[in-house]
Chain A
Amino acid sequence: MSYFEYLAEFGPRFVDGTIITALQTVLAAVLAIFIAFVAGLMRMSPNPLIRGIATVYIEIFRGTSLLVQLYWIFFVLPLFGITLEKFTAGFVAVGMNLGAYGAELVRGGILSVPRGQWEAALALNMSPTKRMIRIIFPQALLNMLPPWGNLLIELLKGTALVSLISVSDLMFEAKQINSTTFLSIQAFGTALVIYYVMARFAITPFMRWLERFMSRKLGRA
């Protein structure tokens, strides 16, 4: 079977898998960004209890493997009465894991805003909320965008693990096709190339565009 015949036969399944992977990536990214901001801000709270909760969360999720967390959420959480459907369990695990890494980026981004900006906002009598939203956040966001690009690629790669709890993503389809055809280099090779294209020609250009857009908005371009 030539590779074109192979693609003609299995192409649609690769496309289906890619759509699920893209969906998992987007949902996990939304969750990760949300968690990163909440945990990152909690880490900077003056209240030691709030800071402690965030630290424990971050250390647990950064200190263990994504795969362990995924299995734990999928197999153990139901014992506590929280049963997540496999699709949900997949992106929740990936999002919670990468959110813990993102929290440190958020903290670093906020700390990278020069002290004078805080003082100036204070001098202008801005409320803490307004200061954060109007002055600190936009600058912090721009500073943390480049590492977020890497993190999103890690997140895309992380979603491949959801195939292990039988979410029919790209990796899962590749495995299924491989087990019926035994043409491993075609099955796994095609999947690898698709992941690469998604990372290199979707996520990376998007983040570049976002950086340019943000810096234009802040008048730094």
Chain B
Amino acid sequence: MSQIQEYLPFLIPVLIIQLVLMISALVDLIRRPSVRGPKWAWALVILFVNLIGPIIYFVMGRKEE
């Protein structure tokens, strides 16, 4: 418990970045009619690959029309 409290100040900014990226990527994924590859796979990437996952989705997942 005390360890978590010690690390909390370090975690807060990382958590904020992760959350913002994750939520924007998920919202975009849901709204987009179609993406490269299956949507559920992208959802997994966005949810479980920290930080890099949403960025990979933004760079590679979206279709260039």
Chain A bound to chain B: no
**Which A residues fall within an 8 A CB radius of B?**
none
**Which B residues fall within an 8 A CB radius of A?**
none
